[in-house]
């Protein structure tokens, strides 16, 4: 076995994301299937009843689908990272005559993180179900008993685990198809030599900034998505709370948003700092101020941060408008929803403060690192 437990701990992010996805889908879909079979729904409750069923389907579909995609991207990201960090060991295995697929097969254990997340998510989904049923069920409808749906267990736990494990092997196999010599050189093949047109005009810090983004393209995705989640879900949660009087749903959305944003942003920031530890320590030795170092490493991601925030804001506004005006269109006494401008600014300021705190905590760690330690890592 070449993949150790230590390597798998890093995949906790995937477990967290799959946990959230399965957790939400479990109770919403279980609720949906139990309620859709209700006989005799009174005619005056029918619009609300239909709206709520649509809501359950919609939320489970969107959040489940979203998070499934994120989990896939994170999985592929970590496999690539693992292979890049273990090129020597893997190259030796290849040189000794192991075929790519023999090595790749071992990557099925990466699916373990998915199993952990989905199982816990499924379990917790069931634990919270009585509370959800009490809250969601419309006044006036008969009480619904919680039924166990085996299909959900298969669709939300067993199938995803197998699918992700298979995907891990497949992707590892494809990545390992580079020639051994390239792997030995430590993935140098990734560093494509392109003529640098801007060298003359640009300062070193600008150059470093643009290289940080262009050599770590997958991280831009996590930055955009993490900020998107934060912007969308925090604003949506508070709007639901303050304007639409649906605090329990709002709370779930808020928690999921914070977890997703936290996982994605921490992943991106940690990967950036780890990839640049030696560079940062060197820059510090030469006399660059910490503020300049931070700017060089993170500054290039600022436009992506703004993009994530803007799309997240627009997305939540669209979704809430859609919900109020379409899904709950026929429901009487539906509160009105308007865009909350102060909330926008508060959310943005909070995001900046959180990011500043994370970056500062890295600064403290890096200040104690010497070049020798940095290079040995």
Partner 1 sequence: MIKVTNINKSFNHGAVKVLHDLSLTIDDGQFVVILGASGSGKSTALNIMAGLERPDRGTVLYDEQDIYQLNDRALTKFRRQNVGFVWQRYYLLPHLTVAQNVKLGADLAGNRDYPAIIAAVGLTDKLNSKPYTLSGGEQQRVCLARALAKKPKVLFLDEPTGALDEETGRNALAYVLELQRALGLTMIMVTHNQNIAETANTVIKMNSGKIVGTYHNAHPKSAREIGW
Write down the least CB distance from residue 60 to partner 1, Å: 43
Write down the least CB distance from residue 81 to partner 1, Å: 17
Which of 164, 288, 298, 304 binds partner 1 (CB under 8 A)? It is 288
DSSP state letter for 2: -
Instruction: State which residue, 139 or 203, has the beta carbon closest to partner 1.
Output: 203
Write down the least CB distance from residue 339 to partner 1, Å: 42
Distances (CA, A) of 354 to 7, 224, 351: 27, 16, 5
Write down the least CB distance from residue 243 to partner 1, Å: 47
Subset of 185-204 contacting partner 1 (CB under 8 A): 185, 188, 191, 193, 195-196, 199, 203-204
CA pair distance 27, 128, nearest whole angstrom:
8
Write down the least CB distance from residue 355 to partner 1, Å: 22
Instruction: State which residue, 157 or 280, has the beta carbon closest to partner 1.
Output: 280
Q: Which residue has the tokens 């494509």?
A: 192
Using only the alpha carbons of the chain, give its radius of gyration: 24
Write down the least CB distance from residue 177 to partner 1, Å: 22
Q: By rule CB under 8 A, what count of residues binds partner 1?
A: 30
Which of 9, 134, 154, 289 binds partner 1 (CB under 8 A)? It is 289
Q: Which 3 state secondary structure label does DSSP give 325? A: helix
Subset of 209-248 contacting partner 1 (CB under 8 A): 211, 215
CA pair distance 207, 366, nearest whole angstrom:
22
367 binding partner 1? (CB under 8 A): yes
Which of 207, 271, 324, 359 binds partner 1 (CB under 8 A)? It is 207
From the CB of residue 241, how many other CB atoms can be counted at a distance below 10 Å?
17
Distance of CA 216 to the CA centre of its chain: 17
Q: Which residue has the tokens 């320590």?
A: 281
Instruction: State which residue, 246 or 279, has the beta carbon closest to partner 1.
Output: 279
| Residue 352 token pair | 């900046």
Closest CA to 248 of 142, 351, 144, 136: 136
Write down the least CB distance from residue 68 to partner 1, Å: 33
CA pair distance 90, 103, nearest whole angstrom:
8
CA pair distance 210, 163, nearest whole angstrom:
36
Subset of 267-286 contacting partner 1 (CB under 8 A): 278-279, 282-286
- Contact between residue 176 and residue 100 where contact means Cβ atoms under 8 Å apart: yes
Instruction: State which residue, 45 or 363, has the beta carbon closest to partner 1.
Output: 363
End-to-end CA distance of the chain: 22
CA pair distance 350, 284, nearest whole angstrom:
29
Instruction: State which residue, 34 or 207, has the beta carbon closest to partner 1.
Output: 207
| Residue 136 token pair | 């969601």
Write down the least CB distance from residue 370 to partner 1, Å: 7
| Interface ranges with partner 1 (CB under 8 A) | 185, 188, 191, 193, 195-196, 199, 203-205, 207-208, 211, 215, 278-279, 282-290, 367, 370-372, 375
């Amino acid at each position: 076995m070449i993949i150790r437990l230590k390597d798998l701990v890093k995949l906790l992010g995937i477990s967290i994301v799959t946990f959230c996805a399965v957790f939400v889908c479990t109770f919403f879909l279980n609720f949906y299937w139990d309620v859709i079979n209700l006989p005799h729904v009174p005619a005056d409750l029918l619009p609300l009843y239909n709206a709520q069923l649509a809501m359950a389907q919609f939320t489970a579909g969107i959040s489940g689908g979203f998070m499934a995609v994120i989990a896939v991207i994170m999985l592929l990201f970590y496999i690539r990272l693992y292979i890049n960090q273990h090129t020597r060991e893997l190259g030796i295995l290849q040189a000794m005559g192991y075929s790519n697929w023999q090595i790749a097969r071992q990557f099925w254990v990466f699916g373990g993180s998915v199993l952990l997340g989905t199982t816990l998510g499924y379990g917790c989904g069931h634990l919270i179900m009585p509370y959800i049923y009490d809250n969601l069920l419309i006044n006036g409808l008969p009480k619904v008993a919680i039924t166990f749906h085996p299909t959900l267990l298969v669709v939300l736990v067993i199938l995803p685990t197998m699918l992700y494990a298979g995907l891990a092997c497949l992707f590892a196999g494809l990545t390992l198809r580079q020639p051994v010599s390239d792997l030995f050189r430590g993935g140098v093949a990734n560093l494509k030599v392109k003529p640098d047109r801007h060298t003359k005009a640009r300062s070193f810090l600008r150059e470093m900034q643009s290289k940080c983004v262009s050599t770590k393209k997958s991280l831009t995705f996590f930055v955009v998505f993490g900020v998107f989640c934060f912007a969308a879900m925090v604003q949506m949660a508070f709007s639901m709370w303050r304007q639409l009087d649906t605090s329990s749903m709002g709370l779930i959305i808020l928690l999921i948003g914070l977890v997703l944003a936290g996982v994605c942003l921490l992943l991106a920031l940690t990967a950036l700092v780890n990839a640049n530890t030696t560079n940062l320590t060197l820059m510090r030795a030469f006399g660059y101020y910490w503020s300049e170092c931070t700017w060089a490493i993170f500054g290039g991601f600022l436009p992506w941060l703004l993009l994530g925030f803007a799309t997240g804001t627009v997305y939540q506004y669209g979704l809430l408008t859609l919900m109020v005006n379409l899904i709950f269109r026929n429901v009487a006494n539906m509160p009105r929803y308007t865009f909350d401008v102060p909330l926008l600014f508060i959310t943005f300021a909070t995001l900046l403060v959180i990011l500043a705190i994370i970056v500062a905590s890295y600064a403290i760690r890096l200040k104690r690192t010497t070049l020798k330690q940095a290079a040995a890592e």
